[in-house]
Structure 1
Amino acid sequence: MRRLFGIILTPIHYIAFGLLLVIFQPIQWFCYRFLGYRAHKYSVDILNCGLTCTYYLLGNRVSWTNNQNLPLDRPMIFVANHQSMYDIPPIIWRLSKYHAKFISKIELTKGIPSISYNLKVGGGANIDRKDQRQSITELMKLGARMKENNWSTVIFPEGTRAKDGNMKFFRAAGIATILKKCPDALLVPIAVENSWKMVRYGSFPLDTFEHLKFTVLDPIDPKSSATIEEAVQKSEDEIRNFLGQPLSEPRDKNQESRG
């Protein structure tokens, strides 16, 4: 039955989602070109609030839980499990006051209204996965901007989406690179639930009447761990424990590089 509703409601969702992207392309351009960073950021926040609201056109709902007293005067690296592209708009919207920037594939900087423009000018890192040197350089530049502007970032350390909701292990390399330039950043795990279910049938139809949940967990100071790898694994295990998934086995750098 829910799949039948998906066939009916998915086109409505896509039309609304696409219209928002098209409408906000010139708005973003105007804000960035003539009003500066803060106006552009505000336009992106409103856009992602609107994109999140389109989930409700499918009968889905979104809840965000943050009981942490997170600092506003310290950069943070938000570390989340990744289930689908529908993770992203709620995270951008709800983390707006922390100026959270995304790490994205460079391919996404072309051809997508609003999204590509924001990736180009929004201050995040656009990495070429085929070019390790470029990726490291981009991450280090992001770390420097975080330190200079007191920005934060969002990273999906699995490296790809967990299409069935079962987490893959977290890679620490990207986080370690950022911390070289922004050593005071705090790691903040975010547990994402049920986003994968929206696309369990693929891009059409989308699933309906799901409850997407985002929960901010206890922050971790990397300096309290013996290594960055250990701090990242603590973040991973916090999320796994919250989601009721098996805890990961301890890994060393060689295991990570092979993974």
Structure 2
Amino acid sequence: MSNKKRFIIFEYNFLIMKKFLLYPVTMVYYAIYFTIMCILQPIEWVAFKLFGNQGLQTIFNYIAYISLKCNHILGSRFTFENIEFIPKNVPVIFVANHQSLLDTAGIIWYLRKFNCFFVTKKELAKGIPSVSYFLRNAEYVLIDRNNPKQAIPKIKSLAEYIEKENYSAVIFPEGTRSKTGEPKEFAESGLKILCKYAPSAYVVPISINDSWKVYQYGYFPLSFGNHIVFTVHRPLKISDFSFEEVMKKTQNAIVQGVKV
């Protein structure tokens, strides 16, 4: 047998053993994660009853932080680059590619000072302790992918709200997560409504890299030792461009920042 064949066999066996070892690590991760989420949900309930949406959002910010910390069990690291690019005291529309649930947790925690409200899918509002409770009671826009038109008035209201309060909206225009990291085609409708009804806002593109790798084998086992990087790009003032220009510049910035 040639040395090349021996190396290929060794490498194959090494990968099999590495993946096998991911199973117990994943079990530990899920046990700790779901235990913590179940403990935190009653705290969410109390915060919501006593302090309303502001109390609920504050608790959920720390739930996002704990979610990221739990991923350290999987050897995951997180970097959020160029936050200084984000304009302050104005409405902001964050637009990002979408690779996994970690995208949302990272944006919620690292951009917590910008009062972010998400446009996200309805399915997440059930089945996940703490997370689903929050989505059922928060002011996020939940989209039914079988009936996307029902979200139009909600997105319009969200845009008017961030325009009035100088808050932020977050949208993933791909509509669904990329399982390979390669960006999918961007849909215009949600971003177009946000831009139309929040005319003084800035669009801030964000490229997310390698969060998909945590789930490259599915939800079991999870992958180990990934570095998830969020890169903020230069903001675009909506009033300075046509929507077509905003859409093109935003998509180009995001796609060029994604390393596949």
Query: Shift of residue 143 of structure 1?
Result: 1.2
Residue of structure 2 equivalent to 1:87 = 103
Q: Which amino acid aligns with 1:215?
A: T
Aligned residues of 1:48 and 1:92 also touching (Cα < 8 A): yes
The DSSP-based 3-state class of the residue aligned with 1:68 is helix
Query: What is the rounded CA distance, in whole Å, between the counterparts of 1:14 and 1:112 in structure 2?
Result: 12
Cα distance change of structure 1 residues 126 and 67 upon mapping to structure 2, 3 Å threshold: closer
Corresponding position: 1:158 with 2:149: no
**Superposed, which structure 2 residues align to 1:66-215 within 5 Å?**
66-215=82-231
Q: Which runs of 5+ in 2 are unaligned?
A: 1-16
The DSSP-based 3-state class of the residue aligned with 1:36 is helix
Query: What is the rounded CA distance, in whole Å, between the counterparts of 1:170 and 1:243 in structure 2?
Result: 14
Cα distance change of structure 1 residues 129 and 10 upon mapping to structure 2, 3 Å threshold: same
Query: What is the rounded CA distance, in whole Å, between the counterparts of 1:20 and 1:141 in structure 2?
Result: 34
Cα distance change of structure 1 residues 193 and 133 upon mapping to structure 2, 3 Å threshold: closer
Cα distance change of structure 1 residues 20 and 185 upon mapping to structure 2, 3 Å threshold: farther
Question: What CA deviation, in whole Å up to 9, does each residue of 1:3-37 have, x standing for no partner?
Answer: 23321211111112212221221111111111233
Q: Which amino acid aligns with 2:69?
A: C
Query: What is the rounded CA distance, in whole Å, between the counterparts of 1:107 and 1:67 in structure 2?
Result: 30
Q: Which amino acid aligns with 2:220?
A: F
User: Which aligned runs of 4 or more in structure 1 are off by greater than 4 angstroms?
Assistant: none
Query: What is the rounded CA distance, in whole Å, between the counterparts of 2:137 and 2:196 in structure 1?
Result: 23
Q: Which amino acid aligns with 1:70?
A: I
Q: CA RMSD in A?
A: 1.7
Query: Shift of residue 86 of structure 1?
Result: 2.0
TM-score by length of 1: 0.88
Higher helix content, 1 or 2? 2
**Superposed, which structure 2 residues align to 1:43-58 within 5 Å?**
43-58=59-74
Residue of structure 2 equivalent to 1:230 = 245
Number of positions where the alignment pairs a residue of Structure 1 with one of Structure 2: 244
Aligned residues of 1:68 and 1:218 also touching (Cα < 8 A): no
Query: What is the rounded CA distance, in whole Å, between the counterparts of 1:141 and 1:235 in structure 2?
Result: 23
Cα distance change of structure 1 residues 2 and 212 upon mapping to structure 2, 3 Å threshold: farther
Query: What is the rounded CA distance, in whole Å, between the counterparts of 1:87 and 1:133 in structure 2?
Result: 25
The DSSP-based 3-state class of the residue aligned with 2:181 is coil
Cα distance change of structure 1 residues 229 and 3 upon mapping to structure 2, 3 Å threshold: farther
Percent identical: 35
TM-score by length of 2: 0.88
Question: What CA deviation, in whole Å up to 9, does each residue of 1:150-171 have, x standing for no partner?
Answer: 2211111111111111111222
Residue of structure 2 equivalent to 1:241 = 256
The DSSP-based 3-state class of the residue aligned with 2:81 is strand
